[in-house]
């Protein structure tokens, strides 16, 4: 239960509502084709959007050009500037990445009238939403926002966050998603007590296995996990399901601190210790042997 | 320059557009007041939204109730259910967190007609956007999304990400924001060559100082940094500006690898090495001494 002061601490204000916008099958208008626009294209393709780019060809960045060539079914390109309100017909989201703040302002005004969410690069006061530093690993996405305090500091924190990840998280989440959908095939009820039981069982597996262990899941293991686990209302260990020992826990210690003491850093330090002990012994032996002669 | 295959790798699809939605001065309708709704209120207050909550009083979670009592100027509460399209008048964003999927679907349909972005808790196919696991530290916000593969795995990764942070990042970003605004007071030009020079200088300071060092910035240090740094077109060291040595780099090594070699882990390993060398030497000395007698 939260106290009033905790509630106050939880609500510092001054932030953004961090959300994962769904663009599958949606139409996005991107006004501009330069370097900033090219990073927008990357994010939009990653979210399965249909993209219309307006930009005179001489203003196209090489990367934007390559995206246009590589995704002809996803990107419609027009070699011209924004012409007026008709450009917004059936558009779900608008991004501007152009040099003229005046033109951006005009486009934003039209979007407001048409109730279309809009971002104008480099003009925060015109934006319905901001972008941030972004990490993508398969189904895993992480966004870091400094709420307008500079992209460089977001990038520094992004590097730190990325370094804390083991690189296996995306695959592990994909396999977890596969396990979840196999379980749903077996017990397809939506909501209700079965839905809750399914969620509890998935949560339990998530808590008891190391994240990296999920990367090894294959069809046979999923079958065994559901037969021996779900059907018996228990959560078998990774060892039991795979016949192999669990992976090194080093990558998962942040979330599963009880296993931290087995970290391989300890292992390598231990080897260094033995090597140094041996070196010390050898030097002393040589010294004493020399003295004896 | 990116190759085609890199572009393909950069655009795996199946993801979301991760964005920081701006709600300052915007009106949000929250239908429902239970436990899930209470977490929505937390996020909405953090983004400075004006909130209207519709929920029969018996359905109010204690935390929701406390938010309503604690923020009377920010939250308008009505002890009733959603009644119809008139509820959406002048609303910028809608969130439902109720038990009835049918009612959620009705509300979502009305939002689509009115072109209001909407999230229906637990019904992903109805959502314009999803929420994820969220870390907030002052102006720093980090969102982790597993793109529908379960909240538990996002929470596990959130714990890992949080453990990688030093706890000083939010304050450091606040101080960086202060430095930036003082610099803008000194050279208020927007855009152009001065704007670019200002951005380059801020980026250089970000790259050369450890993030934690910024937490120590006070008025006098900011003054010195701008006088001896910006005005001289150079970036003074933290030591020069503060008169104190820079903080331990351990917290920042992920982002500043060039300083990683000074990491205290190296220091402690070095001591362990000496100790083991000494131990080896001592044991061998004792052994040979014993043999000699």
Q: In Å, how far is A117's CA from the nearest CA of chain B?
A: 9
Q: What is the pLDDT of residue B119?
A: 97
Q: What is the pLDDT of residue A122?
A: 85
Per annotation, catalytic residue among B8, B48, B109, B122: B122
How would residue B195 be classed by pLDDT, with cut points 50, 70 and 90? confident
Q: How far is residue A140's CA from residue B138's CA, in Å, rounded to a whole number?
A: 24
Q: What is the pLDDT of residue B271?
A: 45
Treating both helix axes as pointing N-terminal to C-terminal, what angle do B62-70 and B35-46 enclose, rounded to 10 degrees?
Answer: 30
Q: How far is residue A181's CA from residue A144's CA, in Å, rounded to a whole number?
A: 30
Q: In Å, how far is A134's CA from the nearest CA of chain B?
A: 8
Tell me the per-residue pLDDT of A267-287, one tens digit each, with 9 for 90 and over.
344 444 555 556 556 655 665
Cβ–Cβ gap A142/B147 under 8 Å: no
Size of interface A-B (CB pairs under 8 A): 359
- Whole-angstrom Cα Rg for chain B: 27
What is the end-to-end Cα distance of chain B in Å, rounded?
Answer: 73
- Domain ranges in chain B? 27-131, 132-165, 169-262
How would residue B275 be classed by pLDDT, with cut points 50, 70 and 90? low
In which element (H, E) is residue B77 found?
strand B75-78
Tell me the per-residue pLDDT of B41-99, one tens digit each, with 9 for 90 and over.
999 999 999 999 999 999 999 999 999 999 999 999 999 999 999 999 999 999 999 99
The interface predicted TM-score of the complex, written ipTM, equals 0.81
Listed in order, strand segments (DSSP E) in B146-272 are none
Residue B157: list chain A partners with CB under 8 A: 140, 142, 165, 169, 211, 255
Which of B133, B78, B80, B87 lies closest to B106 in space, CA to CA?
Answer: B87
Residue A237: Cβ within 10 Å count: 13
Per annotation, catalytic residue among A79, A99, A122, A227: A122
Give me the helices (H) in A187-263, please: 192-208, 219-225, 238-242
- Asked if CATH classification 3.40.50.720 holds for the domain at A27-131, the reply, yes or no, is yes
Compute the Cα dihedral for B90, B92, B98, B100 and give only its sign.
positive
Cβ–Cβ gap B207/A152 under 8 Å: yes
Q: How far is residue B9's CA from residue B165's CA, in Å, rounded to a whole number?
A: 28
Q: What is the pLDDT of residue B258?
A: 35
Q: Which residue of B has its CA nearest to A284?
A: B281
Which of B257, B9, B123, B293 lies closest to A292 in space, CA to CA?
Answer: B293
Cβ–Cβ gap A10/B66 under 8 Å: no
Cβ–Cβ gap A285/B284 under 8 Å: yes
Instruction: Tell me how far CA of residue A236 lies from CA of A169, A244, B230, in angstroms.
Output: 21, 13, 61
**Tokens at residue A16, please?**
């953004």
Q: How far is residue B124's CA from residue B244's CA, in Å, rounded to a whole number?
A: 53
Q: What is the pLDDT of residue A285?
A: 61
Residue B159: list chain A partners with CB under 8 A: 254-255
**Tokens at residue B291, please?**
């043999």
Cβ–Cβ gap A16/B7 under 8 Å: no
Whether pLDDT at A266 is above 80: no
Give me the helices (H) in chain A, please: 4-10, 35-46, 62-70, 101-114, 151-164, 169-186, 192-208, 219-225, 238-242, 264-292
Nearest neighbour of B47 by CB, restricted to A17, A144, A148: A17
Report, as an integer, the average pLDDT of B159-171. Answer: 95
Q: Are A160 and A198 in contact (CB under 8 A)?
A: no
Q: Is A252 among the residues known to form the active site?
A: no
Residue B176: list chain A partners with CB under 8 A: 149-150, 153
Q: In Å, how far is A244's CA from the nearest CA of chain B?
A: 23
Q: What is the CATH number of domain B132-165?
A: 3.30.160
Cβ–Cβ gap B47/A19 under 8 Å: no
Cβ–Cβ gap A130/B22 under 8 Å: yes
Q: How far is residue A28's CA from residue A96's CA, in Å, rounded to a whole number?
A: 11
Whether pLDDT at A16 is above 60: yes
Q: Are A77 and A32 in contact (CB under 8 A)?
A: no
């Amino acid at each position: 239960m939260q106290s009033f002061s905790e509630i106050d601490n939880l609500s510092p204000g001054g932030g953004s509502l961090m959300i994962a916008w769904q663009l599958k099958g949606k139409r996005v208008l991107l006004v501009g084709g330069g370097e900033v626009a090219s990073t927008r294209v990357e994010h939009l393709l990653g979210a399965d959007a249909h993209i219309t780019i307006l930009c005179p060809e001489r203003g196209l960045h090489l990367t934007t050009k390559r995206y246009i060539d590589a995704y002809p079914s996803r990107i419609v390109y027009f070699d011209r500037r924004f012409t007026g309100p008709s450009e917004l017909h059936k558009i779900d989201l608008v991004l501007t990445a152009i040099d003229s703040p005046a033109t951006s302002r005009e486009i934003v005004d039209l979007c407001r009238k048409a109730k279309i969410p809009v971002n104008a690069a480099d003009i925060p006061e015109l934006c319905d939403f901001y972008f941030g530093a972004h990490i993508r690993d398969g189904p895993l996405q992480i966004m870091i926002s400094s709420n307008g305090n500079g992209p460089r500091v977001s990038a520094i924190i992004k590097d730190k966050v990325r370094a804390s990840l083991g690189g296996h998280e995306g695959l592990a989440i994909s396999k977890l998603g596969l396990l979840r959908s196999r379980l749903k095939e077996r017990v397809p009820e939506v909501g209700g007590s079965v839905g809750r039981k399914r969620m509890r069982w998935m949560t339990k597996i998530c808590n008891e296995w190391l994240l990296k262990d999920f990367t090894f899941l294959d069809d046979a293991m999923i079958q065994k996990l559901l037969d021996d686990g779900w059907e018996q209302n228990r959560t078998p260990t990774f060892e039991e399901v795979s016949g192999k020992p669990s992976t090194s826990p080093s990558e998962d210690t942040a979330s599963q601190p009880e296993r931290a003491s087995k970290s391989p850093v300890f292992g390598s330090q231990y080897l260094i210790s033995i090597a140094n002990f041996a070196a010390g012994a050898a030097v002393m032996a040589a010294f004493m042997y020399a003295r004896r002669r």
